[in-house]
């Protein structure tokens, strides 16, 4: 079954084609700088043992043009992987926020699209872009069944004591203000891979997704019981440009004493804070370079970043009443040995002990970084959100809810 996965951002589209049930992508690609000058489209595939890698700079003013160019590459006579768009049976769309209406993977219908518009206010930077991707893809891949996979769905298993805020009940019942959580597709994929690796379906583990955006989740027997992001993706860990946890009194002070308005506060906390605010850099590679050059701000930023993660590990170990593994994933989690070392340092009370030699090695696949005496596994599990989306779409088909 040909399942085409689309991840639409405000100025980018990531895509992969899977022939399920195989987990190996038939092709992968990315369209960047949509609507800007010098947009770039990339496409990679292997045909009869020969690798093809294409990168083109084009004028791509909108998502419609972007997906048309993707379709051109997919159907190219020499390097294409399908003959025409009708060969695509399922199109899986990543949607960041499902609100309370969407708690599972969902077939996209006119009614679903209508409800999706109601989520725009919950994720104004992400959901409108995903919606545009759906509308364009429905025209190009007109014969396919289109399916929405929601990042927030994985966290619908959170108990009320974890997802409710201590504000008047009416704000939840009337306005759905609650913890939703994000990066759910990644946390779900990594959790499933961890359970298989441990051969323990009821494992208690903490998944740590560290990229430009960062989040953690406490997971028991494959179900999330807590997560660090909240009503929006600003809460929790220190991130590339987001502040993470901050006392709301700071916001009152910015308004009442410094004259900030809502937009200024949003820009400050979402785009000017986090590692960028602490160091002047949002990319961890740049911060690592500054750290190695003796930059005091970079040193403090690393310490704060790791300390915040350690606090959540302690809290989640208590919430889980035990711990089988901590799991690092995403760009920083998979590649930054120093962060992993700092997070795992002085965690003897929880029996977390790192094998420092293993931590320095870069290898593909799942890696066990635990010292022999560590009672808690320390794992690196590469995330694959596109594969998880394809799996969820395929599972929906296999369960007989739709026919391909």
The string over 284-302, giving b where at least 16 C-beta atoms fall within 10 Å of a residue's C-beta and e elsewhere, is: beebbebbeeebeebeebb
pLDDT at 401: 52
Q: Is the pLDDT of residue 404 over 60?
A: no
Q: Is the pLDDT of residue 132 over 50?
A: yes
Q: What tokens were used for 252? A: 């009152």
Catalytic residue among 151, 226, 235, 336: 151
In this prediction, residues 137-145 reach a mean pLDDT of 93
Position 400 confidence tier, pLDDT thresholds 50, 70, 90: low
In this prediction, residues 231-238 reach a mean pLDDT of 94
Tell me the per-residue pLDDT of 260-307, one tens digit each, with 9 for 90 and over.
Answer: 999 999 999 999 999 999 999 988 989 999 999 999 999 999 999 999
Coil, strand or helix: which one is 381? coil
CA distances from 371 to 109, 347, 357 (A): 51, 12, 9
Higher pLDDT, 62 or 163: 163
Percent of the chain topping pLDDT 90: 84
Closest CA to 219 of 198, 240, 242, 245: 198
* DSSP structure class, residue 96: S
pLDDT at 123: 82
Place of tokens 């296999």: 398
Inter-residue contact 383 to 369 (CB < 8 Å): no
* DSSP structure class, residue 350: G
pLDDT at 403: 45
Percent helix, strand and coil across the chain, each to the nearest 5: 40, 20, 40
Position 354 confidence tier, pLDDT thresholds 50, 70, 90: very high
Place of tokens 């010292």: 371
Inter-residue contact 51 to 26 (CB < 8 Å): no
* DSSP structure class, residue 324: S
CA distances from 292 to 109, 198, 302, 361 (A): 53, 36, 12, 19
Inter-residue contact 71 to 41 (CB < 8 Å): no
- Looking at every residue in the chain, the average pLDDT score rounds to 93
Q: What tokens were used for 298? A: 């970079």
The two beta strands, 90-95 and 2-8, are parallel
Residue partners of 358: CB distance under 8 A and separation at least 6: 367, 368, 369
Closest CA to 305 of 328, 281, 278: 278
In this prediction, residues 390-399 reach a mean pLDDT of 89
Q: What tokens were used for 390? A: 């394809």
Inter-residue contact 231 to 179 (CB < 8 Å): yes
Position 402 confidence tier, pLDDT thresholds 50, 70, 90: very low
Inter-residue contact 119 to 172 (CB < 8 Å): no
Concerning whether 286 is annotated as a catalytic residue, the answer is no
| Helix 284-292 with 296-320: angle, nearest 10 deg | 120
In this prediction, residues 312-332 reach a mean pLDDT of 97
Tell me the per-residue pLDDT of 20-65, one tens digit each, with 9 for 90 and over.
Answer: 999 999 999 999 888 888 899 999 999 988 999 999 999 999 888 9
Tell me the per-residue pLDDT of 81-112, one tens digit each, with 9 for 90 and over.
Answer: 999 999 999 999 999 999 888 989 999 999 99
List residues bridging with 31 in a β-sheet.
Answer: 13, 41
CA distances from 288 to 139, 172, 185, 294 (A): 45, 42, 28, 10
């Amino acid at each position: 079954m040909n399942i085409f996965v689309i991840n639409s951002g405000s100025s980018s589209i990531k895509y992969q084609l899977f022939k399920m049930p195989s987990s190996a992508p038939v092709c992968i690609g990315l369209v960047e700088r949509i609507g800007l000058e010098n947009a770039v489209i990339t496409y990679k595939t292997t045909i009869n043992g020969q690798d093809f890698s294409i990168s083109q700079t084009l004028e791509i003013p909108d998502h419609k043009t972007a997906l048309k160019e993707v379709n051109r590459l997919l159907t190219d006579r020499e390097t294409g992987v399908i003959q025409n768009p009708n060969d695509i049976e399922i199109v899986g769309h990543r949607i960041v926020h499902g609100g309370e209406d969407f708690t599972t993977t969902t077939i996209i219908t006119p009614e679903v699209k209508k409800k999706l518009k109601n989520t725009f206010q919950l994720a104004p930077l992400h959901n409108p872009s995903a919606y545009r991707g759906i509308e364009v893809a429905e025209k190009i891949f007109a014969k396919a069944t289109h399916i929405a996979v929601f990042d927030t769905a994985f966290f619908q298993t959170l108990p009320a004591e974890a997802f409710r805020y201590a504000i008047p009940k009416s704000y939840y019942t009337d306005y759905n203000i609650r913890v939703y959580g994000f990066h759910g597709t990644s946390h779900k994929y990594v959790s499933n891979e961890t359970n298989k690796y441990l051969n323990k379906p009821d494992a208690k583990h903490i998944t740590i997704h560290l990229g430009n955006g960062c989040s953690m989740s406490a997971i028991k027997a494959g179900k999330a019981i807590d997560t660090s992001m909240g009503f929006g993706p600003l809460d929790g860990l220190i991130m590339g440009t987001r502040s993470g946890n901050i006392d709301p009194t700071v916001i009152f002070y910015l308004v009442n004493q410094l004259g900030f308005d809502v937009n200024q506060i949003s820009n400050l906390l979402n785009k000017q804070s986090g590692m960028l605010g602490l160091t002047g850099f949002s990319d961890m590679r740049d911060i690592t370079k500054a750290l190695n050059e003796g930059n005091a701000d970079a040193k403090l930023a690393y310490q704060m970043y790791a300390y915040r993660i350690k606090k959540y590990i302690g809290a989640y170990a208590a919430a889980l009443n035990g711990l089988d593994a901590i799991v690092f994933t995403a760009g920083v989690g998979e590649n930054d040995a120093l962060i992993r070392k700092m997070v795992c340092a002085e965690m003897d009370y929880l029996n977390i002990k790192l094998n420092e030699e293993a931590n320095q090695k870069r290898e593909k696949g799942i890696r066990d970084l635990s010292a022999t005496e560590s009672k808690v596994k320390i794992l690196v599990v590469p995330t694959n959100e596109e594969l998880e989306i394809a799996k969820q779409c395929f599972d929906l088909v296999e369960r007989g809810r739709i026919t391909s």
